[in-house]
Amino acid sequence: MTDTILIVDDEERIRSTVRGVLTDEGYRVVEAENGRSALQVLEVERPVLVILDIWMPEMDGIEFLRSIHERRPEAKVIVISGHGNIETAVKATQLGAWDFIEKPFSLDSLLVTVGRALSGDAAKPVAAPRAAAERFSPGSSTGGHRVAARTLARSVVVNGHGLHSGVRTGVILHPAPPGTGIVFESLSSGVEIPALIDYVESTGYATTLHRDGSSAKTVEHLLAALHAYGVTDLRIKIQGEIPILDGSALEFCKVLDSGGIVERPDEVEPIVIDEPITIGEPDGKGMSLEPSDRFEIDYTLQYPPPVGRERVLYAHAGAEGFAAEIAPARTFGFVKDIAALETMGLAGGGRLHNCILIGEDGIVNTTLRLESEFARHKILDIMGDFLLLGRPIHGRVVARMTGHTDNIALLRRVRAEIGG
């Protein structure tokens, strides 16, 4: 039986155009010019999908969204808006919308979204410069260790402020089928940015990905949580910068817990390090990746007083350990550097609650959550950046006084030496 799609939009031109395209694809299409009319249509039709405009007279899309899930909970809803922003997208998703796209949209991208919704797939695999299976084959060693593909059980949302932009922002995390990988998608442009080192644009104070005019900024804390939970496939809708929240990855862990993690029958082969790979100076700043039967990080931090020396050894054994030992560690910075960051247009979203500020005599705005919290946050950043390899990794990272730039440099050496 032909799938029925309901278009709800007060602009006749939009309805006509979308109807024509969907009809050509073989769908049966019914229409309504506002929310009240759409409710009447629902009384006689059973659409499997609703394409819903947010901004309509009499009954807006948000109000209609509440009603449709009471009357037709099985119907999926794609929300469209000519005034899209992350707040609207988050609200729509919280009310059960399957996806959110912004006007003006291309008809091709709309058809892709419709196809995903009707097939039950939250995302399709995204073409990268080299597919994940090719990047580490045949030169990589996998040692026979395979891990299950994982994604979320349901869509979840989180919003806040960007650390460097200072603007209100957020993310919507959608389940994705095996083979998708971790993919960021711009809410405004629809551009998809795979979470791979191929797309790293900058590493100054944070890791930023870029593709075709769109960016995903400050991705490392979210990626660290995904790495810890073993998530291999996810579609992440964003509006520029990932929210900083409390400066750690703890809130992202809670969001993943609320969405639930599901394993798929498909498996992913990790990269297994057989020989050490090193960058930097042996006795100074630098890092190496050495053989190990699991993922481990040995991080040493050395600053002048009042910070001093910290060393933490972390052996990753699952999400629970990460949530207790690493995720609560917050971003930190020095009071003396604030003026320079402001001059560079950074740290506009810094708040007293989301960044540990260190003055000449010690911490000025909070108390530490963890012993050696500064070194633990550096481990958190490494966890996030290392997900950009596109596959799990078995190896031991040994690092001293390194940051995002060093992390990415080492990952590129790994791919150059192992990937061929």
The residues assigned a catalytic role are 404
Query: From CA 200, how far away is CA 209, in angstroms rounded?
Result: 4
- Chain position carrying tokens 């095996």: 178
The closest alpha carbon to 352, from 367, 341, 342, belongs to 367
Structure tokens belonging to residue 209: 């990905």
Cα torsion angle, 259, 261, 267, 273, sign: positive
Q: Which residues contact 3 (CB under 8 A, 6 or more apart)?
A: 27, 28, 48, 49, 118
Query: From CA 384, how far away is CA 216, in angstroms rounded?
Result: 14
| Backbone dihedral angles phi then psi of residue 265, each to the nearest 5 degrees | -70, -20
Query: From CA 327, how far away is CA 257, in angstroms rounded?
Result: 13
Q: Which amino acid is at 147?
A: V
The closest alpha carbon to 385, from 369, 419, 354, 409, belongs to 409
| Backbone dihedral angles phi then psi of residue 241, each to the nearest 5 degrees | -115, 140
The closest alpha carbon to 244, from 168, 152, 173, 193, belongs to 168
Q: Rounded to the nearest 10 degrees, how much is the dihedral formed by the CA atoms of 137, 298, 381, 329?
A: 150
